[in-house]
A and B are shown apart, each in its own frame.
Chain A
Amino acid sequence: MGKLYVSRRSLLKGSAAAGVAIAAPTIFTSRAWASDFTNKPTGSSVTLGFNVPQSGVYADEGADQLRALQLAVEHLNGEGDGGMMNTFSSKALKGNGILGKKVEFVTGDTQTKTDAARASARSMIEKDGAIMITGGSSSGPAVAVQALCQEAGVIFMAGLTHANDTTGKDRRRNGFRHFFNSYMSGAALAPVLKNAYGADRKAYYLTADYNWGYTTEQAISQATEGVGWETVNKVLTPLGAGDFSSYIAPVLKSGADVLVLVHYGGDMVNSLTNAVQFGLRDAQANGKNFEIVVPLYSRLMAKGAGDNVKGIFGSTNWHWSLPDDGSKAFTKSFGTKYGFPPSQAAHTVYCQAILYADAVERSGSFHPCGVVEALEDFKFDGLGNGPTLYRADDHQCFKDVLVVRGKEKPESEFDLLEIVEKTPAKQVTYPHDHPQFAGGELGTCNAGTA
Chain B
Amino acid sequence: MDVIILQVLNGLDKGSAYALIALGLTLIFGTLGVVNFAHGALFMLGAFCAVTLNRFLTLSHQVVDPSRTDFLGNPLKVEVRYIEEWLGPEIGGAIIDWSVPLSILLAIPVMALIGLAMERGLIKHFYKRPHADQILVTFGLAIVLQQIVKYFYGANPIATPAPEAFTGSFDFGVLLGFEPFSIIYPYWRLVYFCFAIVIIAAVFAFLRFTTFGMVVRAGMADRETVGLLGINIGRRFTVMFAIAAIVAGLAGVMYTPIVAPNYNMGMNFLVLSFVVVVVGGMGSLPGAVAAGFLLGILESFASMSAVIDLVPGINQVIIYLVAIIVLLVRPRGLMGRKGVMED
Interface residues of A (CB under 8 A from B): 54-56, 59-60, 233, 235-236, 238, 242-243, 245-247, 249-250, 252-254, 266, 269-270, 273, 277-279, 283-285, 304, 306, 320-321, 331-332, 335-336, 340-341, 412, 414-415
12 pairs across A/B with beta carbons < 8 Å?
A: A236-B308, A238-B316, A246-B315, A249-B184, A250-B6, A250-B305, A266-B157, A270-B259, A277-B188, A285-B181, A331-B72, A414-B71
A309 to chain B, nearest CB (A): 13
**Given the complex, which residues of A lie within 8 Å of B14, measured CB to CB?**
243, 245-246
**Given the complex, which residues of A lie within 8 Å of B71, measured CB to CB?**
320-321, 331, 335, 340-341, 412, 414-415
Chain B, Cβ-Cβ closest to A234: B305
* Interface bits B301-330 vs A (CB < 8 Å: 1, else 0): 001110010000001100000000000000
Query: B39 at interface (Cβ–Cβ under 8 A)?
Result: no
- A252 contacts B155, C-beta separation under 8 Å: no
- B155 contacts A59, C-beta separation under 8 Å: yes
- B316 contacts A252, C-beta separation under 8 Å: no
Once the chains are docked, how many angstroms separate the CA of A273 from the CA of B161?
Answer: 10
**Given the complex, which residues of A lie within 8 Å of B181, measured CB to CB?**
252, 279, 283-285
Given the contacts A246-B299, A277-B167, A279-B171, A253 and B305 also touching, CB distance less than 8 Å: no
* Interface bits B148-192 vs A (CB < 8 Å: 1, else 0): 001000111101010000011101000000001110111011000
Query: B58 at interface (Cβ–Cβ under 8 A)?
Result: no
Given the contacts A246-B299, A320-B71, A412 and B76 also touching, CB distance less than 8 Å: yes
Query: B31 at interface (Cβ–Cβ under 8 A)?
Result: no
Given the contacts A277-B188, A279-B168, A412-B70, A253 and B6 also touching, CB distance less than 8 Å: yes
**Given the complex, which residues of A lie within 8 Å of B300, measured CB to CB?**
246, 249
Once the chains are docked, how many angstroms separate the CA of A336 from the CA of B74?
Answer: 10
Query: B84 at interface (Cβ–Cβ under 8 A)?
Result: no
**Given the complex, which residues of B lie within 8 Å of A249, measured CB to CB?**
6-7, 10, 184, 300
- B305 contacts A332, C-beta separation under 8 Å: no
Chain A, Cβ-Cβ closest to B304: A250
Chain A, Cβ-Cβ closest to B159: A304
Chain B, Cβ-Cβ closest to A332: B72
**Given the complex, which residues of A lie within 8 Å of B188, measured CB to CB?**
277
Once the chains are docked, how many angstroms separate the CA of A343 from the CA of B147?
Answer: 28
Other A-B pairs beyond A233-B305, A279-B184, A320-B71, 8, CB < 8 Å: A59-B156, A243-B259, A250-B6, A250-B305, A253-B2, A254-B305, A277-B189, A278-B185
Please provide the 4 A-B residue pairs with the shortest distance between their CB atoms, ordered closest to farther.
A246-B303, A55-B155, A277-B186, A279-B169
**Given the complex, which residues of A lie within 8 Å of B299, measured CB to CB?**
246
Query: B239 at interface (Cβ–Cβ under 8 A)?
Result: no
Once the chains are docked, how many angstroms separate the CA of A414 from the CA of B69?
Answer: 12
Query: B289 at interface (Cβ–Cβ under 8 A)?
Result: no
User: B72 is contacted by which of A59, A60, A250, A336 (Cβ under 8 Å)?
Assistant: A336
**Given the complex, which residues of A lie within 8 Å of B304, measured CB to CB?**
246, 250
Once the chains are docked, how many angstroms separate the CA of A321 from the CA of B185?
Answer: 38
Chain A, Cβ-Cβ closest to B72: A335
Query: B265 at interface (Cβ–Cβ under 8 A)?
Result: yes
Once the chains are docked, how many angstroms separate the CA of A320 from the CA of B171?
Answer: 40
B182 to chain A, nearest CB (A): 6
A205 to chain B, nearest CB (A): 10
Given the contacts A60-B156, A250-B6, A335-B71, A242 and B268 also touching, CB distance less than 8 Å: yes
Given the contacts A235-B308, A415-B71, A283 and B184 also touching, CB distance less than 8 Å: yes
Once the chains are docked, how many angstroms separate the CA of A165 from the CA of B63?
Answer: 48
Interface of A, secondary structure class, is: mixed
In chain B between 253 and 305, which residues have their CB closer than 8 angstroms to a CB of chain A?
A: 258-260, 265, 268, 299-300, 303-305
Chain B, Cβ-Cβ closest to A58: B156
Once the chains are docked, how many angstroms separate the CA of A278 from the CA of B186?
Answer: 6
- B155 contacts A54, C-beta separation under 8 Å: yes
Which of the listed residues B268, B299, B308, B315 has the most CB atoms from chain A within 10 Å of its own CB? Answer: B315
**Given the complex, which residues of B lie within 8 Å of A285, measured CB to CB?**
181
B61 to chain A, nearest CB (A): 15
Chain B, Cβ-Cβ closest to A280: B184
**Given the complex, which residues of B lie within 8 Å of A284, measured CB to CB?**
180-181
A-B residue pair count with CB separations less than 8 angstroms: 103
User: A252 is contacted by which of B7, B184, B186 (Cβ under 8 Å)?
Assistant: B184
Once the chains are docked, how many angstroms separate the CA of A414 from the CA of B70?
Answer: 9
**Given the complex, which residues of A lie within 8 Å of B70, measured CB to CB?**
412
Once the chains are docked, how many angstroms separate the CA of A64 from the CA of B234?
Answer: 52
Once the chains are docked, how many angstroms separate the CA of A341 from the CA of B73?
Answer: 12
Once the chains are docked, how many angstroms separate the CA of A283 from the CA of B268?
Answer: 32
**Given the complex, which residues of A lie within 8 Å of B259, measured CB to CB?**
242-243, 270
Once the chains are docked, how many angstroms separate the CA of A283 from the CA of B181?
Answer: 7
Which of the listed residues B13, B171, B304, B305 has the most CB atoms from chain A within 10 Å of its own CB? Answer: B305
- B6 contacts A242, C-beta separation under 8 Å: no
**Given the complex, which residues of A lie within 8 Å of B258, measured CB to CB?**
243, 245
Once the chains are docked, how many angstroms separate the CA of A252 from the CA of B169?
Answer: 14
- B10 contacts A242, C-beta separation under 8 Å: no
**Given the complex, which residues of A lie within 8 Å of B13, measured CB to CB?**
245
Query: B198 at interface (Cβ–Cβ under 8 A)?
Result: no
- B7 contacts A246, C-beta separation under 8 Å: yes
A337 to chain B, nearest CB (A): 11
Query: B3 at interface (Cβ–Cβ under 8 A)?
Result: yes
- A245 contacts B10, C-beta separation under 8 Å: yes
Once the chains are docked, how many angstroms separate the CA of A236 from the CA of B300?
Answer: 15
A84 to chain B, nearest CB (A): 16
Chain B, Cβ-Cβ closest to A328: B72
Chain B, Cβ-Cβ closest to A300: B156
**Given the complex, which residues of A lie within 8 Å of B171, measured CB to CB?**
279
B169 to chain A, nearest CB (A): 4
Once the chains are docked, how many angstroms separate the CA of A246 from the CA of B10?
Answer: 6
B303 to chain A, nearest CB (A): 4
Once the chains are docked, how many angstroms separate the CA of A284 from the CA of B138?
Answer: 50
**Given the complex, which residues of B lie within 8 Å of A243, measured CB to CB?**
14, 258-259
B206 to chain A, nearest CB (A): 30
- A270 contacts B260, C-beta separation under 8 Å: yes
**Given the complex, which residues of A lie within 8 Å of B184, measured CB to CB?**
249, 252, 278-279, 283
**Given the complex, which residues of B lie within 8 Å of A250, measured CB to CB?**
3, 6-7, 304-305
B252 to chain A, nearest CB (A): 13
B279 to chain A, nearest CB (A): 19
Once the chains are docked, how many angstroms separate the CA of A285 from the CA of B181?
Answer: 9
* Interface bits B49-79 vs A (CB < 8 Å: 1, else 0): 0000000000000000000001110001000
Chain A, Cβ-Cβ closest to B158: A304
B230 to chain A, nearest CB (A): 49
Chain A, Cβ-Cβ closest to B9: A249
- B159 contacts A306, C-beta separation under 8 Å: yes
**Given the complex, which residues of B lie within 8 Å of A253, measured CB to CB?**
2-3, 6, 182
**Given the complex, which residues of A lie within 8 Å of B315, measured CB to CB?**
238, 246
**Given the complex, which residues of B lie within 8 Å of A245, measured CB to CB?**
10, 13-14, 189, 258
B118 to chain A, nearest CB (A): 25
Which of the listed residues A56, A233, A247, A277 has the most CB atoms from chain B within 10 Å of its own CB? Answer: A277
**Given the complex, which residues of A lie within 8 Å of B72, measured CB to CB?**
331-332, 335-336
Chain B, Cβ-Cβ closest to A55: B155
Which of the listed residues B14, B71, B167, B185 has the most CB atoms from chain A within 10 Å of its own CB? Answer: B71
